[in-house]
Amino acid sequence: MSEAENLDESGELRDFIRNIIVEDLAERRTESLVTRFPPEPNGYLHIGHAKSICLNFGVAEEFDGRCNLRFDDTNPAKEEQEYIDAIEADVKWLGYSWNGEPRYASDYFEQLYTWAELLISEGKAYVDDLTADEMREYRGTLTEPGRNSPHRDRTMEENLDLFRRMRSGEFSNGERVLRAKIDMASGNINLRDPVLYRIMHESHPRTGDAWCIYPTYDFAHGQSDAIEGVTHSLCTLEFEDHRPLYDWLIENLPVPSRPRQYEFSRLNLSYNVLSKRRLIQLVEEGHVNGWDDPRMPTISGLRRRGVPPEALRDFARRIGVTKSDSVVETQLLDHCMRELLNRTAVRRMAVLNPLKVVIENYPEGESEELEAVNNPEDEGAGSRMVPFSRELWIERDDFMEDPPRKFFRLAPGREVRLRYAYFITCHDVVKDANGEIVELRCTYDPATKGGNAPDGRKVKATMHWVSVPHAVEAEVRQYEHLFATEEPGASGDYLDDINQESFNVLTGCMLEPALAAAPVGGTLQFERLGYYCADPDGTPERPVFNRTVGLRDTWAKVQRQQAAAKKG
């Protein structure tokens, strides 16, 4: 869905979920909107979670409601406090606040257990001894009904006794489970006596060793919603087939409220994998440098890369909320970043592949301060002073000894403009013993201070530069897509599609002195090069910068071409 399709007649953001909420509030089916964001703390959040965060917290803000942060901590074998802390940090960084204190499914373990016993006492649940493989065999297929377990008709007394013994730790992992008694012939496999509790002798991060049986997501989720008074339980489409079970449990238990589940399409992003299982594999097998590697689609990785939270929120708004699965081009995310950063990021000069320029007619041992604009898109950003001296660094790519016809930058005998400074002309090229260019000898025109000639003569190139004696040496990390193909794994193992050129470290980069004090995570523009942010690995003496995104916006160009083609 395009951005325009997400707007109603008044220009307000609208989608099918927001339309449902508007109608529910208007018809008083809902007095006050309550949503929740329920991550499992078994890994770091990724950009797909950001879409869900923006939806759940966003609609709560828009409709003067509340959004709970609730951790689905029902699988202690995979959950860690590190992930809980990271999730809280990610939600806050995106700009959202949850209602009250964070909640946990484990807060409700005793209540859930009581309700499980109630289902047993009413003949709606039973303890089953089938192994996992036997359960799969008995479950049937999409075209064939399942078969009843031989333990399905145990008496209520026997089931209660076994379930209580499960809780007391009498049985080993996998020896028994508690299942709902629904319909083994149902066309929806999720209603074929789903598992409600399993035995897991694992210490829980919050409850310790108090429990050795844990509820499944299907049993904990809807009931936790009901306990919290959630009105609209917003899930991705893979839970659509689970909704009948969600509703069955709500209808068959004395829950304090009646939440409704609604599903929307999950985010699929080109050149990325958003499966948590695959992201864990990338981290654990060392294919990336941790969860916050700037190539990762995790929120922490995007943050370290320098992506502003406002750009992620804008991205979520533009892609909209639909029930149709599709792949979103990662170029749209880049476009959202560029559009924001072009307006807000300060400009600084940095030379990534330096070549020395000596201005022979500039006084030796002297320097001056020249005024440079911080952001030409924002007059309020003001200006700064940058030092200029006899020796400068320029980009090696900005000089060619024997240039082709359309190369307009510096060459022997050619005059160019140095940004905010003077016109210079190259007169001599100095090479080392191997024939490599190591220095350019130039002259400058003092009358062109500020970048304009009093006689009106024009030059075809403006170049950035850094004063040699004032330069700060830095490391710059250039990042590309982690995967070389738009759909990783489409033709085999997704690991085979990893882009071996996705990470390139440049050392010996020369930066204007103001960049030594750049705040970690603050994104700015290296003039003519792209947007970069200071990395926590750096120091004031030797800063480290990560490339956030380049300057060229191919996505916007393609959109304009497509729009023009439609008009034609």
Please, which residues bridge with residue 536 across strands? none
Residue 10 lies in a domain: no
Residue type for position 283: V
Q: Is 40 a residue of the active site? A: yes
Question: 510 and 536: one domain?
Answer: yes
Which tens digits make up the pLDDT trace of 37-59?
999 999 999 999 999 999 999 99
Cα angle 286, 292, 297 (rounded to 5 degrees) comes to 95
Q: Last residue of some domain: 264, 295, 317?
A: 264
Question: 126 and 254: one domain?
Answer: yes
Residue-level pLDDT at 233:
98
Question: 359 and 245: one domain?
Answer: no
Q: Which two three-digit tokens encode residue 509? A: 């980069």
Whether pLDDT at 554 is above 90: no
Residue type for position 406: K
CATH number at residue 409: 2.40.240.10
Residue-level pLDDT at 553:
72
Which tens digits make up the pLDDT trace of 18-36?
999 999 999 999 999 999 9
Residue 224 lies in a domain: yes
Taking the C-alpha atoms of residue 299 and residue 312, their distance in angstroms, rounded to an integer, is: 9
Q: Which two three-digit tokens encode residue 159? A: 């089931």
pTM for this entry = 0.92
E strand intervals along 148-266: 177-180, 195-199, 213-215, 232-236, 260-264
Taking the C-alpha atoms of residue 72 and residue 204, their distance in angstroms, rounded to an integer, is: 12
Residue 26 lies in a domain: no
Whole-number average pLDDT of the chain:
95
Question: 53 and 106: one domain?
Answer: yes
Q: How confident is the model at residue 557 (pLDDT cuts 50, 70, 90)?
A: low
Residue type for position 252: N
- Is 344 exposed, middle or buried (CB count within 10 Å of its CB: 0-12, 13-18, 19+)? middle
Q: Which two three-digit tokens encode residue 26? A: 């208007």
Question: 109 and 258: one domain?
Answer: yes
Which tens digits make up the pLDDT trace of 152-188?
999 999 999 999 999 999 999 999 999 999 999 999 9
Residue-level pLDDT at 372:
97
Question: 506 and 460: one domain?
Answer: no
Determine which one of 139, 260, 276, 303 is catalytic.
276
Average pLDDT over residues 386-411: 96
First-to-last CA distance in the chain? 22
Q: Which two three-digit tokens encode residue 57? A: 């917290």
Whether pLDDT at 3 is above 50: no
Question: 81 and 93: one domain?
Answer: yes
Q: Last residue of some domain: 464, 484, 500?
A: 464
Which tens digits make up the pLDDT trace of 331-345?
999 999 999 999 999
More confident residue, 271 or 541: 271
Q: How confident is the model at residue 75 (pLDDT cuts 50, 70, 90)?
A: very high
Residue-level pLDDT at 14:
81
Question: 82 and 187: one domain?
Answer: yes
Residue 105 lies in a domain: yes
Taking the C-alpha atoms of residue 231 and residue 261, their distance in angstroms, rounded to an integer, is: 9
Q: Is 92 a residue of the active site? A: no
Q: What percent of the chain has pLDDT over 70?
A: 95
Number of domains in the chain: 3
Determine which one of 266, 396, 477, 528 is catalytic.
266
Taking the C-alpha atoms of residue 5 and residue 136, their distance in angstroms, rounded to an integer, is: 43
Question: 382 and 446: one domain?
Answer: yes
CATH number at residue 91: 3.40.50.620
Q: Last residue of some domain: 249, 264, 279?
A: 264
User: By C-alpha distance, which of 296, 288, 301, 307 is closest to 272?
Assistant: 296
Question: 288 and 247: one domain?
Answer: no
Residue-level pLDDT at 63:
97
Which tens digits make up the pLDDT trace of 118-164?
999 999 999 999 999 999 999 999 999 999 999 999 999 999 999 99
Whether pLDDT at 387 is above 70: yes
Structural domain range at position 200: 32-264
Q: Which two three-digit tokens encode residue 58? A: 């966003």
E strand intervals along 166-244: 177-180, 195-199, 213-215, 232-236
Determine which one of 14, 40, 475, 480 is catalytic.
40
Question: 59 and 168: one domain?
Answer: yes
